A and B are shown apart, each in its own frame.
Chain A
């Protein structure tokens, strides 16, 4: 089974900051990686798929990069609505999520 490891687990930031979340896969997943945002009590929302493709309707301050085993989600100019938990997910072989990164207000 492919394991996904996210870091950090928690991130404290301020409005306007640039934040980066890293996700590492235990084996090569090519670019079959998605990023989701989840707010308390709500379903996850797709932000990015195939490592770097922005889902329709998602603000351009979100971007993804990487290939193989190392991936990043970057949020530039952090907005109040962006404080949430973020998950990566691989879908190269079965489906596995990272443990999540909570972005909290500094």
Chain B
């Protein structure tokens, strides 16, 4: 069955870096785009970034451009979110989710989420 297992969250000071991982199994990973979506404590969902199936196209929400980088290793069925220059407002549960295409394609499976807390 489809599984997306996340790791890498934790507590980090403002300005520091963190890398999240999303390891997939149970489907043809290299055929799917992968998104990151976050949810601040008690708040709604916010799309963060997406990477195409072959890694050639990447898009970000404005608030993380220049600070976050999404990447993937199709040989390891894993997507990463490299987060630099973290801010207090980046505190959230981060989810990875797959879609068949970048565009016009629903998010049909999600990881379990990982909490990132930015605090001094």
B104 within 8 A of A: yes
- Stretch of B7-15, B23-31, B80-88, B107-115 with 4 or more beta carbons under 8 angstroms from chain A: B107-115
Closest to A93 in B: B103
Q: Is the CB of A100 within 8 A of B106?
A: no
B68 within 8 A of A: no
A44 within 8 A of B: yes
A-side interface residues, number (CB < 8 Å): 23
Q: Is the CB of B46 within 8 A of A46?
A: no
Q: Residues of A contacting B45 with CB < 8 Å?
A: 36, 38, 44, 87, 89, 97, 100
Docked CA distance A87–B35 (Å)? 17
Q: Is the CB of A91 within 8 A of B105?
A: yes
Q: Residues of B contacting A34 with CB < 8 Å?
A: 106-107
A7 within 8 A of B: no
Q: Residues of B contacting A95 with CB < 8 Å?
A: 35, 47, 50
Q: Is the CB of B44 within 8 A of A98?
A: yes
17 example contacts (A-B, Cβ-Cβ < 8 A) are as follows A32-B104, A34-B107, A42-B112, A43-B111, A43-B113, A44-B107, A44-B110, A45-B110, A49-B108, A91-B99, A91-B106, A95-B47, A95-B50, A98-B44, A99-B44, A100-B44, A100-B45
Beyond the given A43-B95, A97-B47, A100-B45, could you list 16 further A-B residue pairs with CB under 8 A, ordered by the A residue number? A34-B106, A34-B107, A38-B45, A42-B113, A43-B110, A43-B113, A44-B110, A46-B106, A46-B108, A91-B103, A91-B106, A91-B107, A94-B59, A97-B46, A98-B44, A99-B44
The chain B residues found within 8 Å of chain A, CB to CB, are 35, 37, 44-47, 50, 59, 95, 99, 103-113
For the complex of A and B, the 8 pairs showing the least CB-CB separation, nearest first, are: A49-B106, A43-B110, A95-B47, A97-B45, A34-B106, A100-B44, A99-B44, A46-B108
